[in-house]
């Protein structure tokens, strides 16, 4: 084949594929089979791979292929992308019509009604019939350049259909990218199978899909688009009627939602709204209202805008969808502080394309106020992105004779079973067992976090693993991890070095002051600040343990502390009344955790100009204390051994620093040697 012949062949194939796309996506009526389509596509790919210099950027094979960008470029909208005003009732709608009619002193009908698609507004520009730029709405004036991502949506032509090429080839079209509900459900199912997070709703995921930095990611998502507005380039008008512009969009191969309608009077308008308010649940895309526009573009111009909203259009918003379903069971989540939050296990039901099988019940009060009972038929509503809520028992609910008012559990759910307490306001119920398996994972994550015991290497994820593998089942077991090295080694990513570092960090955390430990217990209401206030009065764990033997007295002391109220004091008393918690305190005392902050005030200049490195663990003194001791007596403590190091202080289980010191001929000493250097403070030990 001649070069020009091949070029011609490619051009014909592209045109045939474009036409087939238009039939498939726009007219929903293909004249060729999938098989034939694939054959043409494969042939095109084949020719292009043989003659890469003949690949045109708008070939249907070139939808994906641009490399990821690190950020989106900004795009200035030629005419701003406005947002619509809303009306929420027929009264408000009639008001809007009256107001608008008054401005132009003539009838504003016909109006064009369209379904308002729940997705992401975008603008797509064509020049000489080719797609050249696509952008998000952004703030209305400046959006983000998403051209490479928009190209991956198969229903958007990269070139507008050749038949119309000469008629309309320079224009801007605006539309809404959306995630079809059926595709959203299967997409989430797939993600779940792959162990990935699922997306909360189709709207957010359509927006997320378009805003991927890597177009390949966008291409994986089955998003689609409806166009709803057509603008000529440089403000030139293509037609004088909005209805006509919707027809042109379709004609040139840009997909429109087909349920738009020309409306001639108020009655028709109400009928249209009522019809779609009920029928929208049968659509494969989310709609949250009806867009109502004045048809005549001349009238639109006369009406103009107020700020960022046009006077010639408004959106009638549907009330949130309410559906009925059965409340199977009332369950409880146990939070970190032990507060039980009730939630409803529902017979699965779809609202706005999202399968709902759970709803929050907030607290005890709400269940009682609404008299919700297991097996009731209830009404639920999902307003925007909020987790669905139960509005109440349905009018259609029929209770059988055995239906009983919901009774709250007296014990924490299995496997904890500890007694539960009510808070003083009787709103929430609390499990105060610090080893409660229902809350333990979250408590463990909290215990090791920055404001608490600050154990580096025991982040949220590792805590979850240790909890799930049953390596740590109570807080004190953190400090026994050194006996479980084999089990730690079995965790992916854990090697000897990492484990030793972790154990060292755990050991060092023992030096944390009592206020950190008290915070770390996770008692409801006892955060960092309250813990610090308390530990000014009750300075260490031993002190605290002694006081727990007379809870009434302890309560008095706590209430006497400025800033600690009776509720927090009450929570602490409930906590210490749990046997398991007293056991925990004793474990920590044995481990010598929870001492008061020691201030070594003694200072000399004995260690002036001397540099120390510390390695290993120490029995009586804590590492921080040793550091303070050296610093207070004029010495310097550094982390790494070098030629400039004078002494290595050696503890138990030393690390690699010992070898470094030996190699560098650094003098090695133990704590007793250090005491000899500072005889003045010997009595302190």
Catalytic residue list: 116
Q: Which residue has the tokens 């998403």?
A: 146
* 412 versus 503: smaller Cβ distance to Zn ion: 412
* 81 versus 430: smaller Cβ distance to Zn ion: 430
Q: Parallel, antiparallel, or unpaired for β 647-650 and 667-669?
A: parallel
CB of 437 to Zn ion, least distance (A): 7
Cβ atoms within 10 A of the Cβ of 628, count? 17
Strand, coil or helix: 456? coil
Torsion of CA 141, 142, 148, 153, to 10 degrees: -30
Considering only residues 390 to 419 of the shown chain, the ones binding Zn ion according to CB under 5 A are 412, 416, 418
Q: Which residue has the tokens 């001929």?
A: 665
110 cis-preceded (ω within 30 degrees of 0): yes
* 363 versus 535: smaller Cβ distance to Zn ion: 363
* 438 versus 448: smaller Cβ distance to Zn ion: 438
Question: Which listed range, 73-81, 396-404, 438-446, 668-676, lies at the site for Zn ion (CB under 5 A)?
Answer: 438-446
Q: Going residue by residue from 478 to 517, which x/- string records binding to Zn ion, judged by CB under 5 A?
A: ----------------------------------------
Alpha-carbon span 322 to 213, nearest angstrom: 37
* 473 versus 559: smaller Cβ distance to Zn ion: 473
* 72 versus 332: smaller Cβ distance to Zn ion: 332
415 cis-preceded (ω within 30 degrees of 0): yes
Residues 6+ away with beta carbon under 8 Å from 555: 569, 570, 572, 573
Binding to Zn ion by residue 153, rule CB under 5 A?
no
Q: Parallel, antiparallel, or unpaired for β 636-638 and 313-317?
A: unpaired
Question: Which listed range, 40-48, 132-140, 427-435, 444-452, lies at the site for Zn ion (CB under 5 A)?
Answer: 427-435
Question: Which listed range, 129-137, 167-175, 434-442, 500-508, lies at the site for Zn ion (CB under 5 A)?
Answer: 434-442
371 cis-preceded (ω within 30 degrees of 0): no
Closest by CA position to 665, among listed 652, 638, 646: 646
CB of 433 to Zn ion, least distance (A): 5
Cβ atoms within 10 A of the Cβ of 435, count? 19
Question: Which listed range, 52-60, 291-299, 436-444, 517-525, lies at the site for Zn ion (CB under 5 A)?
Answer: 436-444
CB of 490 to Zn ion, least distance (A): 28
Alpha-carbon span 397 to 376, nearest angstrom: 6
Considering only residues 625 to 664 of the shown chain, the ones binding Zn ion according to CB under 5 A are none
CB of 88 to Zn ion, least distance (A): 45
* 188 versus 418: smaller Cβ distance to Zn ion: 418
Both tokens assigned to 663: 């190699």
* 252 versus 430: smaller Cβ distance to Zn ion: 430
Binding to Zn ion by residue 452, rule CB under 5 A?
no
Binding to Zn ion by residue 430, rule CB under 5 A?
no
Closest by CA position to 583, among listed 422, 360, 433, 428: 433
Alpha-carbon span 270 to 278, nearest angstrom: 13
* 320 versus 580: smaller Cβ distance to Zn ion: 580
CB of 440 to Zn ion, least distance (A): 9
Q: Which residue has the tokens 């952004």?
A: 138
CB of 579 to Zn ion, least distance (A): 13
**Count of residues near Zn ion by CB under 5 A:** 7
Binding to Zn ion by residue 436, rule CB under 5 A?
yes
CB of 438 to Zn ion, least distance (A): 5
Question: Which listed range, 26-34, 50-58, 429-437, 523-531, lies at the site for Zn ion (CB under 5 A)?
Answer: 429-437
**Integer angstrom CA distances of residue 86 from 30, 226, 316, 319:** 39, 21, 6, 12
* 96 versus 332: smaller Cβ distance to Zn ion: 332
Cβ atoms within 10 A of the Cβ of 479, count? 21
CB of 653 to Zn ion, least distance (A): 36
CB of 336 to Zn ion, least distance (A): 12
Cβ atoms within 10 A of the Cβ of 411, count? 11
CB of 439 to Zn ion, least distance (A): 6
Closest by CA position to 576, among listed 556, 536, 534, 547: 547
Question: Which listed range, 430-438, 455-463, 538-546, 547-555, lies at the site for Zn ion (CB under 5 A)?
Answer: 430-438
Work out the widest C-alpha separation in the chain, in whole angstroms.
102
Question: Which listed range, 396-404, 437-445, 476-484, 676-684, lies at the site for Zn ion (CB under 5 A)?
Answer: 437-445
Considering only residues 11 to 70 of the shown chain, the ones binding Zn ion according to CB under 5 A are none
* 156 versus 431: smaller Cβ distance to Zn ion: 431
Answer yes or no: are the C-beta atoms of 132 and 217 closer than 8 Å.
Answer: no
Binding to Zn ion by residue 431, rule CB under 5 A?
yes
Exposure string of 300-310, with b = 16+ CB inside 10 Å and e = fewer, is beebeeeeeeb
Strand partners of residue 125: 133, 172
Answer yes or no: are the C-beta atoms of 641 and 607 closer than 8 Å.
Answer: no
Answer yes or no: are the C-beta atoms of 85 and 292 closer than 8 Å.
Answer: no
Answer yes or no: are the C-beta atoms of 327 and 355 closer than 8 Å.
Answer: no
Alpha-carbon span 630 to 637, nearest angstrom: 7
Question: Which listed range, 262-270, 433-441, 548-556, 643-651, lies at the site for Zn ion (CB under 5 A)?
Answer: 433-441
Residues 6+ away with beta carbon under 8 Å from 82: 140, 305, 308, 309, 310
CB of 342 to Zn ion, least distance (A): 15
Residues that bind Zn ion (CB under 5 A): 412, 416, 418, 431, 433, 436, 438
């Amino acid at each position: 084949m001649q070069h020009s012949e091949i070029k011609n062949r490619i051009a014909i194939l592209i045109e045939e594929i474009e036409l087939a796309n238009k039939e498939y996506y726009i007219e929903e009526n293909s004249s060729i089979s999938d098989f034939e389509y694939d054959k043409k596509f494969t042939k095109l790919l084949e020719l292009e791979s043989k003659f890469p210099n003949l690949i045109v950027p708008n070939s249907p094979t070139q939808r994906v292929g641009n490399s990821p960008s690190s950020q989106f470029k900004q795009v200035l909208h030629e005419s701003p992308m406005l947002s619509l005003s809303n009306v929420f009732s027929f009264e408000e709608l009639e008001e809007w019509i009256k107001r608008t009619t008054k401005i132009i002193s003539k009838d504003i009908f016909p109006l064009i009604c369209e379904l308002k698609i729940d997705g992401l507004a975008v603008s797509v520009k064509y020049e000489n019939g080719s797609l050249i730029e696509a952008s998000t709405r952004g703030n209305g004036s400046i959006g983000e350049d998403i051209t490479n991502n928009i190209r991956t949506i198969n229903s958007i032509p990269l070139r507008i259909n050749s038949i119309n090429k000469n008629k309309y080839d320079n224009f801007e079209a605006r539309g809404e990218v959306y995630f079809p509900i059926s595709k959203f459900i299967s997409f989430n199912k797939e993600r779940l199978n792959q162990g990935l997070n699922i997306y909360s709703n189709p709207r957010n995921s359509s927006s997320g899909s378009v805003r991927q930095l890597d177009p390949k990611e966008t291409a994986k998502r089955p998003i689609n688009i409806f166009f709803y507005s057509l603008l000529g380039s440089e403000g030139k008008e293509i037609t004088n009627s909005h209805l006509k512009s919707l027809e042109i969009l379709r004609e040139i191969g840009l997909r429109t939602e087909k349920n738009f309608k020309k409306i001639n009077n108020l009655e028709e308008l109400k009928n249209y709204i009522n019809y779609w308010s009920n029928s929208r649940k049968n659509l494969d895309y989310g709609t949250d209202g009806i867009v109502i526009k004045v048809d005549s573009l001349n009238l639109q111009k006369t009406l103009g805008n107020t700020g960022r909203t046009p006077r010639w259009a408004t959106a009638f918003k549907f009330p949130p969808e309410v559906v009925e379903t059965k409340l199977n069971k009332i369950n409880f989540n146990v939070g970190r502080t032990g507060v039980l939050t009730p939630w409803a296990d529902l017979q699965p039901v779809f609202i706005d394309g999202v399968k709902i099988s759970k709803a929050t019940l907030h607290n005890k009060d709400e269940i009682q106020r609404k008299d919700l009972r297991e097996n009731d038929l209830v009404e639920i509503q999902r307003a925007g992105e909020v987790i669905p809520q139960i509005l109440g028992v349905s009018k259609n609910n029929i209770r059988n004779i055995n239906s009983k008012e919901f009774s709250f559990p007296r014990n924490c759910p299995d496997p904890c079973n500890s007694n539960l307490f009510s808070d003083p306001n009787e709103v929430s119920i609390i499990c105060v067992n610090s080893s409660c398996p229902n809350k333990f994972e979250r408590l463990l994550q909290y215990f090791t976090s920055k404001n608490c015991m600050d154990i580096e290497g025991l982040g949220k994820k590792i805590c979850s693993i240790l909890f799930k593998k049953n390596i740590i089942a109570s807080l004190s077991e953190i400090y026994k991890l050194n006996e479980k090295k084999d089990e730690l080694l079995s965790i992916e990513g854990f090697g000897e070095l990492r484990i030793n570092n972790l154990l060292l960090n755990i050991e060092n955390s023992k030096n944390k002051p009592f206020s950190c430990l008290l915070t770390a217990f996770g008692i409801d209401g006892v955060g960092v600040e309250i813990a610090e206030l308390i530990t000014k009065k009750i300075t260490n764990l031993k002190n605290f343990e002694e006081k727990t033997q007379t809870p009434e007295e302890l309560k008095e002391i706590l209430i006497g502390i400025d800033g600690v109220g009776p509720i927090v004091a009450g929570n602490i008393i409930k906590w210490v009344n749990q046997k398991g918690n007293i056991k925990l305190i004793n474990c920590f005392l044995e481990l010598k955790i929870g001492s008061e902050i020691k201030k070594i005030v003694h200072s000399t200049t004995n260690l002036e100009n001397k540099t120390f490195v510390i390695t290993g663990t120490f029995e009586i003194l804590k590492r921080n204390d040793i550091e303070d001791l050296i610093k207070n007596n004029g010495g310097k403590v550094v982390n790494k051994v070098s030629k400039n190091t004078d002494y290595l202080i050696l503890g138990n289980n030393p690390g690699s620093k010992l070898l470094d010191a030996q190699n560098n001929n650094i003098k090695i000493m133990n704590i007793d040697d250090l005491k000899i250097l500072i005889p003045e403070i010997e009595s302190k030990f």
